[in-house]
A and B are shown apart, each in its own frame.
Chain A
Amino acid sequence: MALKVFSIPALPKVNNGAARLLPVATTLLAALISVLPVQIPGYAALTPVFTLMAAYHWTMYRPDLLPPLALFAIGLTEDLLAGSPLGINALLLLLTRSAVLGYRRYFVNRTFPYVWTGFTLLTGAAMFGLWALHCVLDLSLLDFRNTVIRAALTIAIFPLASFLLGRAQRSAMGAG
């Protein structure tokens, strides 16, 4: 995993306060959505990783407006709400930022399939990492099937999330 530090690219300045808050607000909303009790059989175990979608989108397009401290706080909040081991989602979101900033130049300002490919690679790595970490924390070999299905669902839903986030971004900040 790329732990190198990358400088944040220069992006058009956003002066509107509400627009500046949009990335943090949508990522926090994603954290809330992921703990909502949707009463579909088996859904809880397969809930897509909504925060990963938001973190990827905003780190790709507006890394300046979703700073590491915000990702850390949102990750911790999600852990506390979901009852998962504290720090795990914070770690996931921060490593996502690190990876996306490292490889951003290959995916940004390209057509959507490129962006989606980037997300697919990221999700694959992230879900495998999560699974491995949980295996270590629980000291047992956990079932890998749910992880695969969850990753597939996350990747499948990403175009919709990306579309909605992109719409919100354009209406709040203009084309950017």
Chain B
Amino acid sequence: MIWLSPQARTAIQRTLLPILIALSAAIVVLGKADQLVFESARTAVTDAAAPVLDAFSRPLRAVGKVVDRVRMVVDTYDENTRLETENARLLQWQQTALNLAADNQQLRGLLKAVPDNALSYVTARVIANSGGAYVRTVLINAGSDDHVARGQAAITGEGLVGRLTEVGNRAARVLLITDLNSRVPVMIEGSHVNAVLAGDNSERPRLLYLSAPDATKVGDRVVTSGEGGVFPPGLPVGVVDALDPAGPRIEPYVELSQVGYVLVVDYGLAHSLPQPVQVPARPGKRKSAGEDDTANR
């Protein structure tokens, strides 16, 4: 450590706090003005912290399991009755589904329909959440090392969770559909009414810009519409839970605050999107609009 006279040390201590306060405020403003400025710092820190968070979050998963198990033991009788009823109902559905699948296959054959793109899945564990009232994101323990890329969809068996916004080597951040900045093109299943699902940091996001505002009713299923090309059409999102003049509220199928694992799915759509991070024009330098102009001249 550099030796300083006590006077110098006191002087530094006196001025350091206001300087750092001003610096923090400047960083907040700068980060707001250009979201990409600190992108590499974010991915670097999350990458470095991923193993630690991974280790810390494992016991929590175990605690969650114990709580679940206790709850299950308590509810066994009711749960069993419910499951028996549900099973009988699902067996009927299974028959219907089998019939429909056979029909569908025949009709597809007649139409010479192109099959859906082959998908590749990566299963990842949630290792951190955003811990606060103002952001809804989670960190997962898969990154570009696992061939995960920005823009891909994160889903669970129940439905859509969100999409990947920052991808490091070992960890990636998922913007949940409930985040204030999340906008997902969706449609009401059946009626094909298009809308945008807009998060507002609450548990239940809203439907905005409905193409037919009065046609929606409580209980309608909401699925992705595939518009804009981020998500494929037909991913289950949630059900309309309440009608509100400002826009119907959706109850997501996925219990977002309890997601432990997600599937990161590559639908082969991410490359069709304009990449948010611009390709460097010269090594080590970000391309700006001005450079674009000079390149065209």
Interface string of A64-79 (1 = CB under 8 A from B): 0001110110011100
Interface residues on B, range: 35 or more
Residues on B facing A (Cβ under 8 Å): 10, 13-18, 20-21, 23-28, 31-32, 38, 41-42, 45-46, 49, 52-53, 56-57, 60-61, 64, 126-139, 166, 173, 180, 200-203, 255, 257-258, 260
Pick from A81, A97, A137: contact of B45, CB under 8 Å: A81
A86 touches B173 (CB 8 A): no
Q: List 26 A-B contacts (CB under 8 A).
A: A5-B18, A8-B13, A32-B56, A35-B129, A35-B130, A35-B131, A36-B56, A36-B128, A39-B60, A39-B64, A39-B257, A41-B257, A41-B258, A42-B257, A43-B257, A71-B20, A80-B41, A80-B46, A81-B46, A82-B130, A82-B131, A83-B166, A88-B28, A91-B21, A140-B180, A142-B180
- Determine the chain A residues whose CB is within 8 A of the CB of B17 once the complex forms: 5, 68, 94, 97-98
Main SS of chain A's interface residues?
helix
A81 touches B49 (CB 8 A): yes
The 6 A-B pairs with the shortest beta carbon distances in the complex, nearest first, are A87-B27, A87-B28, A91-B24, A146-B133, A80-B45, A35-B128
Shortest distance in angstroms between A35's beta carbon and chain B's nearest beta carbon? 4
Shortest distance in angstroms between A29's beta carbon and chain B's nearest beta carbon? 10
- Contacts A39-B64, A44-B257 aside, 15 further interface pairs with beta carbons under 8 A come to A35-B129, A36-B129, A37-B57, A37-B138, A43-B257, A44-B132, A77-B49, A81-B46, A82-B137, A83-B137, A87-B25, A87-B28, A88-B28, A94-B17, A95-B21
B60 touches A44 (CB 8 A): no
**A45 with B201, Cβ < 8 A, contacts A84-B134, A91-B28, A146-B133 known:** yes
- Determine the chain A residues whose CB is within 8 A of the CB of B138 once the complex forms: 37
